[in-house]
Structure 1
Amino acid sequence: MGDVQGMLSDIQAEANYACRMSGLDHLNDHVLAAMGRVPRQRFVSKSLRPHAFDNSPLPIGKGQTISQPFIVALMTDLMAPKRGDNVLEVGTGSGYQTAVLAELVDHLYSIEIIPELAKKSRRRLEKEGYNNISFQVGDGYYGWSDMAPFDAIIVTAAVEQIPHPLVEQLAPGGRLVLPVGERSYSQDLILVKKDPSGAIIKTRLLPVSFMPLSGSR
């Protein structure tokens, strides 16, 4: 059974390679500190807790997974969240990525399409003391227009094409991080930036493997 320090060491080791591919010099210390504060073992089933700190994805039911810790750290870093930002998460899932973001921002909006997962993750996050999260059950492809624009958006499941509603809801200067591809073995992590003038810049970072985004699209 591993521990959080072992998990952080694994993240750092993988970051030494992958950060060169993604254009980052290193992972932000604030992101790693947030990862260290979130008890990942409380976001998986009891039977999987011996593997909670493995640097790998784990099943959470309903055909979904809790992401590999390194990918959580990398995507969080790419979002560059900070206090005062308006942040949207598409795909609450287990609530683990949600908790990491909640450690870094004043308030977070999170959407989950599967009601059972949404209920369980909300209960878990509230039990862990996170009171700076607004939840919604719905199709995250369409974002959360009432709370837009967002300074940062993360999508924790793969889409075949970048959702236009999410790009529309991105604030000037904002960042959208998401996996894009039709199959689990042909996806890429994409960073979408909207510059102050509203122009869109897309950067393909590295190959990834995510479950597909559920919903009408």
Structure 2
Amino acid sequence: MTQPAPQDIARNHMVDGQVRPNQVSDQRVIDAMRVLPREAFAPAGALAYADTDIELGGGRFLMSPLLAARLAQLALARNPAEVLVVGAGSGYLAALLASAGARVVALEEETRLQTGALAQYAPQVEAACGPLAAGYPAGGPYDVIVIEGAVPAIPENFVAQLAPGGRVVAIVADGDEPAGLGRAVSAEAVGREFVAVRAFDCTARVLPAFRRAPAFSL
């Protein structure tokens, strides 16, 4: 009898020990997390299945497995057909969403998505390159825009990139610190603004591209 590989054992432990006991019940997310090799989306030598963020460099992080799972579940709640992931990092969350059958565009500020793990394990995902705060209107409109990381506020320009009834799923930071408490929200456009409904509280790191410039006072 063939023994499972260590990484396969670790992957199942991640799902059964971290994800399923913590309010993740969407079977699409659970099934995808059992299959996708998270270690391929992490730097060499990283503890890919630990309950922690993993540094990618440049102030960017691969979200902890639980936070990625809960965001994916929130994004998939209405069975979106068109999804944009802003700040896709190494592509793990985009790959999870694509495994559920959505058409996914993954936006980054550099071209690594086109040659990394995302291209290998989720080639159906469209990798786009451009400034994160601008979104990616060329691929829209989207049923869901997922911001993979915390932001001080959801950019108003994302309103025009949503399909009717579309949402933005994001983590809104409670303060200006690079890492701290925040709240995951599902936000719908009302006019030119967003009305956000809190989904759950979490700790997350603010995406560098969205950090507010320091304010000086006399």
Q: Which amino acid aligns with 1:172?
A: P
Identity across the alignment (%): 23
Name the CA shift for 1:138/1:216 in 2 (closer, same or farther; >3 Å): farther
Higher strand share: 2
For 2:60 and 2:43, locate their aligned partners in 1 and report how far apart those are by CA, in whole Å: 13
Q: Which runs of 5+ in 2 are unaligned?
A: 1-5, 213-218
Q: Describe the SS at the equivalent of 2:205.
A: coil
Q: Which runs of 5+ in 1 are unaligned?
A: 16-25
Q: Describe the SS at the equivalent of 2:95.
A: helix
* TM-score calculated relative to the size of structure 1: 0.81
Q: Describe the SS at the equivalent of 1:5.
A: helix
1:179 matched residue in structure 2: 171
1:189 matched residue in structure 2: 184
Greater shift, 63-72 or 100-109, is seen at: 100-109
Q: Describe the SS at the equivalent of 1:187.
A: strand
Q: Rg: which structure is higher? A: 2
For 1:157 and 1:123, locate their aligned partners in 2 and report how far apart those are by CA, in whole Å: 22
1:4 matched residue in structure 2: 11
Pairing partner for 1:162 from 154, 165, 179: 154
Q: Which amino acid aligns with 1:32?
A: I
* TM-score calculated relative to the size of structure 2: 0.80
Determine if contact 2:151/2:211 at 8 Å carries over to the other structure.
no
Deviation at 1:106, TM superposition (A): 4.4
Deviation at 1:127, TM superposition (A): 5.0
1:55 matched residue in structure 2: 51
Deviation at 1:109, TM superposition (A): 0.8
Cα root mean square deviation, aligned: 2.6
- Number of equivalences: 200
Q: Which amino acid aligns with 1:147?
A: G
Pairing partner for 1:214 from 203, 209, 217: 209
1:29 matched residue in structure 2: 27
1:139 matched residue in structure 2: 131
1:18 matched residue in structure 2: none
Name the CA shift for 1:144/1:53 in 2 (closer, same or farther; >3 Å): same
1:45 matched residue in structure 2: 43
